[in-house]
Structure 1
Amino acid sequence: MSGLSGAAAIAGIGATEFSKDSGRSELQLAAEAVRGALADAGLAPSDVDGMVTFAMDANAEIAVARELGVPELRFFSRIPYGGGAACATVQHAAMAVATGIADAVVCYRAFNERSGSRFGRVQAAAVAAATSAGLDNGWHYPVGLSTPAATVAMFARRYLHEFGATSEDFGRVAVAMRRHAATNPKAWFHGRPITLAEHQASRWIVEPLHLLDCCQESDGAVAIVVTSAARARDLAHRPAVITGAAQGSGSDQFTMTSYYRDDLAGLPEMGLVAEQLWRQAGIGPADVRVALLYDHFTPFVLVQLEELGFCGRGEAPGFIADGRIELDGALPVNPHGGQLGEAYIHGMNGIAEAVRQIRGTSVNQVDGVENVVVTAGTGVPTSGLVLAAG
């Protein structure tokens, strides 16, 4: 176990409603979510002395602090690589708390990703940026690899070829996530499950990805409060103790599909995160009752199950075939519905659901939860957490 393991905990969670048109600024969304997380923890803005968010977030820490009346900040940090940052925000907060740099750190993510800038569309400016990423994009944009779906489709095609998987295997992930969302009143797709036939009939986005293989676009915000584990035990709720927190970037890492690698059907960066998580937490896959996996595209859920050690390489289609990742299965995945069913808030809503599972307060509560594994965006440098009941 690492020196970080067990030192910090998530003491509060907050969120706005999830919509397709919030009708307010991203700064207002951020402030609402942070205010909710502080109220959930039983803390005041004056208790906050640290903030962590995504490099992509448009809301400056000092602006959020002003809106809330936070008097001063002793620590602030931003994590790059889009959704890969989600769990790393909590990792940075936990490191700050464990080392005494800060006492109460808020992690937040807020955007109007449906009514404002939509990530699923071609971002023409990304190819002209005077950065190394702009240079990289200049090589693959001209051949049509200019959206997340296009790059992931290349990965998905290789996975199908290498392991004999089918589109229906991807569809079983989507069906499970939508089934979970259907019983979650806060999910965008509440009351709207899908069948495998409906998945197969949904239109192509980029073959072999159907529309229902792709996460939704959402407006909303989620915030998380991290304090020391000892302090969290005296606050409003049962703490979710951070027993593992890791980041990872694999060899020849690219963005969304690392197509310079010899092995095009794995996610070695997630394997690196998994090795760190299990070592830090002192547990293994068999000790996990529920998993919150980043489900921006269905193929990456399958590969994460493999990289995390729940099954072997190429075995995920068989692993999930009997409903194992559904609520009554051996390893429920994303009981809230995930980004396919609840909302796409860059993975932060998955962390919030993990906390609810630890507390025993989820609308789709899994029995006997003591440890939860959470992952962040895949196909990019990524991160992960293990949370345990405090």
Structure 2
Amino acid sequence: MIGFRGATAVVGVGTTDYFKRGTSPMSSAQLVLQAILRACADAGADPRTVDGFVSFGGDANEGMAVAAALGVREVRWSSQVWGGGGGGVAAAVNQAAAAVYSGQASCVAVYRGLAEADDGRRAFAKGHVGPLYSAHGVVAPAQICALRTQRMLEMDGVPPSTLEAVAMAGYYHAQNNPRAVAYGKPLDHETYSSSRLISEPFHLFDCSRENDGAAAILVVNAERAGDYRPQPALILAGVQGAATGWTESVENEERYTSAGFHPAMVERLWNNAGVGPDEVDVAQVYENFTGPAVAAMIDHGLCPPGPAAGEVLTVDNLTVPDGALPINTAGGNIAEGFVHGIGLVVEAVRQIRGDSPNPVPGTDVSLLIGGPMAPLVSSTVFGSPATV
């Protein structure tokens, strides 16, 4: 794994606008193509030279179809990460890096697109809320994550204030991001606490948005990064998967209040990256709901478990410019826009490049945490050239 560390890099990012779900003037395929074309323009790459395609979460836009529309000269890699929810978002990056590192492809586009008119309502959750849930009145991901979060608050002693801090941090950062859906709509304690309950303990602002849109990144061999324009974000390490006692076990998870990142998985991430959680400068934490995001930060060692989590996960500590652990610096799924978390990948890269709407000065280590409490979970550590 030492050879893998820093061997691949992200050299281009592209996003579309965020649209309220069901209102995009473009199809899901058109959104994906626009995002990839913008990533190529950002990198200074000819779209026809992209030879690999990776997505996740049941994206309807197959790599071969995307390649044909782009006029790609040769497709050498095309895959999609299995696993429900947004757990595959970092895994898709890791898979692209593995394809490039192994020589199976030279330039891989990682993408995700959603348009409700094409993909249907809650396309990202299809097939993962089965009859054993619905028979007991559980029909939405919010209910499943609420059950686990309530247990985390009651049994583990994690303060409810941590959930509010995650939501408030996203909204705070969105005010400096004109692309964010919540731009110009600041959130305060009164508004947060008085908002309606969706599924206890989640209030309205604890829940991610659902948007039409797309985003993409380009992954290449780090030795070729100089052929492209922006400063690259090196991929230091990545993990994905689920241990025994997790996955699709319908509420029989052994570590029920965790986000699904078991200790061996997290240890492997930090060992392979060559850094520890105390060296993370900024993190993009997938918040399908605020509770799973809190659990994910605990799993990764970014904050202690139990009541002490409330001392670290405060609004001041989670926001720029002075927070020790700024998160979701473009607004995240909650305040920037939700396209299954792919926007978090773009923001993780932008922090390394310095072109985030809320840049953290001197960022060398940028962490991406994907899909907590999903059947499959994943993380990626990005680094600046100074880290290798």
In the aligned structure 2, how far is the partner of 1:362 from the partner of 1:368? 12
* Contact 2:5 2:236 (C-alpha < 8 Å) held by counterparts: yes
* Contact 2:260 2:377 (C-alpha < 8 Å) held by counterparts: no
Query: Which of 21, 24, 27 matches 1:25?
Result: 27
Query: Which of 110, 131, 137 matches 2:113?
Result: 110
Which segment drifts farther, 257-266 or 36-45? 257-266
Counterpart residue type for residue 6 of structure 1: G
CA displacement at 1:120 relative to structure 2: 8.8
Give CA-to-partner distance per residue, 1:333-357, whole Å, 9 cap, x none.
Answer: 0110100010112121111111111
* Contact 1:292 1:350 (C-alpha < 8 Å) held by counterparts: yes
**Corresponding position: 1:142 with 2:145:** no
Match of 1:342 in 2: 336
**Corresponding position: 1:2 with 2:2:** yes
Give CA-to-partner distance per residue, 1:118-143, whole Å, 9 cap, x none.
Answer: 329996xx4xxxxxx68xx2212110
Counterpart residue type for residue 54 of structure 1: F
In the aligned structure 2, how far is the partner of 1:34 from the partner of 1:161? 44
* Contact 1:11 1:237 (C-alpha < 8 Å) held by counterparts: yes
Aligned with 1:233: secondary structure?
helix
Q: CA 1:45–1:339 in structure 2 vs 1: closer, same or farther (change >3 Å)?
A: same
Give CA-to-partner distance per residue, 1:78-110, whole Å, 9 cap, x none.
Answer: 102231111111111111111111111111101
Structure 1 unaligned spans of 5+: 127-132
In the aligned structure 1, how far is the partner of 2:97 from the partner of 2:212? 27
Counterpart residue type for residue 275 of structure 1: E
Query: What does 1:25-104 correspond to in 2, within 5 Å?
Result: 25-81=27-83, 82-104=85-107
Give CA-to-partner distance per residue, 1:304-334, whole Å, 9 cap, x none.
Answer: 1111112222232221136211112111001
**Corresponding position: 1:361 with 2:367:** no
Q: CA 1:322–1:90 in structure 2 vs 1: closer, same or farther (change >3 Å)?
A: closer
Structure 2 unaligned spans of 5+: none
CA displacement at 1:269 relative to structure 2: 2.5
CA displacement at 1:55 relative to structure 2: 4.7
Query: Which of 363, 368, 376 matches 1:374?
Result: 368
Aligned with 2:24: secondary structure?
coil
Counterpart residue type for residue 232 of structure 1: A
CA displacement at 1:259 relative to structure 2: 2.1
Q: TM-score, normalised by structure 2?
A: 0.93
In the aligned structure 2, how far is the partner of 1:174 from the partner of 1:270? 25
CA RMSD across the alignment: 2.0
Match of 1:217 in 2: 210
Aligned with 2:382: secondary structure?
strand
Counterpart residue type for residue 230 of structure 2: H
* Contact 1:49 1:75 (C-alpha < 8 Å) held by counterparts: yes
Aligned with 1:143: secondary structure?
coil
**Corresponding position: 1:300 with 2:286:** no
Percent identity reads: 36
Query: What does 1:169-248 correspond to in 2, within 5 Å?
Result: 169-248=162-241
CA displacement at 1:293 relative to structure 2: 0.7
Give CA-to-partner distance per residue, 1:210-235, whole Å, 9 cap, x none.
Answer: 11110001110001100000101231
CA displacement at 1:37 relative to structure 2: 0.6
Counterpart residue type for residue 323 of structure 2: G
Q: CA 1:281–1:122 in structure 2 vs 1: closer, same or farther (change >3 Å)?
A: closer
CA displacement at 1:5 relative to structure 2: 1.2
In the aligned structure 2, how far is the partner of 1:73 from the partner of 1:2? 28
Aligned with 2:87: secondary structure?
helix
* Contact 1:258 1:264 (C-alpha < 8 Å) held by counterparts: no
In the aligned structure 2, how far is the partner of 1:120 from the partner of 1:231? 36
